[in-house]
Structure 1
Amino acid sequence: MKYIDLRSDTVTQPTEEMRQAMARAEVGDDVYGEDPTVRRLEEKAAELFGKEAALLVPSGTMGNQLAVLAHTQRGDEVIVEAEAHVFFYEVGGLGALAGVQTRTIRGEKGVLPAARVREAIRLSDIHFPRTALICLENTHNRAGGTVMGLQEMEAIGQIGKEYQIPIHLDGARIFNAATYLGLPVKVLTKDMDSVMFCLSKGLAAPIGSMLVGSAQFIARARRLRKMLGGGMRQAGIIAAAGMVALETMVERLAEDHRRARQLAEGLAAIPGLKVDLERVQTNIVVADIMATGLSPAVFLGKLKEQGVLAAAFGGNLVRFVTHKDIDDLDIDQALMEIERICRKGR
């Protein structure tokens, strides 16, 4: 059975152009800094974001953890949104790897209000940990793919400069945010000291994420990458797909956003489902299925039987994510199957 896979944009298959680029890639030993394709990808990523340097890493989680390790010391405190990926989904890495504690702030649709960030910064006192880093997330996964705008990012950027606290952006889907806002990523992230972004989500590369920042920061992150086992050898095969992703997959993200809106409006019209349409800004749709009388496990099981895949998202929530392998007919078919399941459930 061919599934309509709406679980995540991580399920995307590489394009034929990516496969050909991978097969032809010029490679070398990246730990020795000798892989020319990796170097080209890192240079392109740094240029796109207006930063001095970049580093290819196996995953977004590793990129985020490297950033925290590079910016902090053990015993420091990191300000994060209460449901940020780096706090919620990274296996306690902030404490286990970096030895830092978190100061969590509840955001507004995932967006950290600058005033609350300022209030959370520790005073200089021997009883307190040092506020060493502010972490942002754009788009915000747990909030439903919501976008932090340029004004909000600039406001927190100014706080970081005022208190000399670096700011790291988990930009796993930053190109989705930039597409929504109609801004270049260089402009949107200009006040960030470091940014991680994924090649393997909406951009459809099979593996890899990038970490960008100052040359000094990336040099430290490169050493830490080796410590965590992320030093790769002939990684140009991965980088070649990443180059194609950056060159060919960014502009089409608007299609994913359009289909997510189509899906969200269709779901909202089905009795028993509740969708906050204000949160549907990019390619993520979250539906509350409580009124169907079905648990997420039962709902998803029935949906899978009809050839549609989605993901549990905690409580009574189910998440759907559009991507390049989902077309308009898939959305129509998914909505038909979901409506049938909800009608029977009631």
Structure 2
Amino acid sequence: MEIFKAAWDFFQNQVLGMKWLNSLIGSALDACGLDTTGRIGGSIQFFIYDIIKIMVLLGVLILIISYIQSYFPPERTKKILGRFHGVGANIIAALLGTVTPFCSCSSIPLFIGFTSAGLPLGVTFSFLISSPMVDLGSLVLLMSIFGWKVAVVYVLFGLIIAVAGGTLIEKLNLENQVEEYIRKGNSLDVPQEELHFKDRINFAWEQVVSTAKKVFPYVLIGVGIGALIHNWIPEDFIVKVLGDNNPFGVILATLAGVPMYADIFGTIPIAEALLAKGALLGVVLSFMMGVTTLSLPSIIMLRKAVKPKLLGIFIVICTVGIIAVGYLFNAIQPLLV
């Protein structure tokens, strides 16, 4: 058992967390005359380390996930979802969302395609909620920073929100709240040619390059904000606003994430810095969920597909679910960290 624990700790800290890289960067900066224990040197070390770590993990993850995704083109995904009914269909849709695009704006075109194909509205919303919130990349990156317990529980709660939200929307019979051009749209069932291993690798590499280009600016911004929080904002201030003394911290964090647009790779450095400064676990995870699921640009895009009533219900369901999960994480934090 001790051997297994040691092996796991090594994997989490040195492979996923790349602590060796942090030490290497710190030594290099010290050799250049920068004091990494000070604010400026510490900020530079945090910035370089997190940028490299996130982009390397991101590249590896996207390569693996995109290879898996090559087996699930949209038409095949529609066929898979069409075989299930009831809550089972919502569960499958939420799980399929974990191997599809990394941000909400990228998920909406697929949501429109699934809805046009005649899939139940609740099923398509379960996919739309889970896709940006709980992709496989989030699981690995969360493990690299917060540990496997937090990562697994985060993904589990995210899937619960997706399944419950989609099921509730299905029960409300809101099909008439989808824009007419989508309800009357036709989806051609185009047969997918069988891809060979080389084709799938090429597809996966193209996804790595394309996604890296899209997310890199947000990673830069996220890591920059994280470095600022980590080394310049007083710990007492973070604890006062987002710690035990503020019962509304989860609500504030969720609402603060709405105007932003980033995927989970850009929010993790901010969450990491906030947690290190004393913010509660549920607060930082609610912020991450708010940014990835309820960002203002994705809401504007979704409005083009659904009417205000359905959009409002979607926002309320996600907001209530995220806030509830945030408070639950706060309550069980001693068991996870």
Query: TM class by shorter-chain length?
Result: under 0.3
Q: Which has the higher helix share?
A: 2
**TM-score normalised according to structure 1 size:** 0.24
Q: Which has the higher strand share?
A: 1
Which structure's relative contact order is higher, taking Cα pairs within 8 Å and 6+ residues apart? Answer: 1
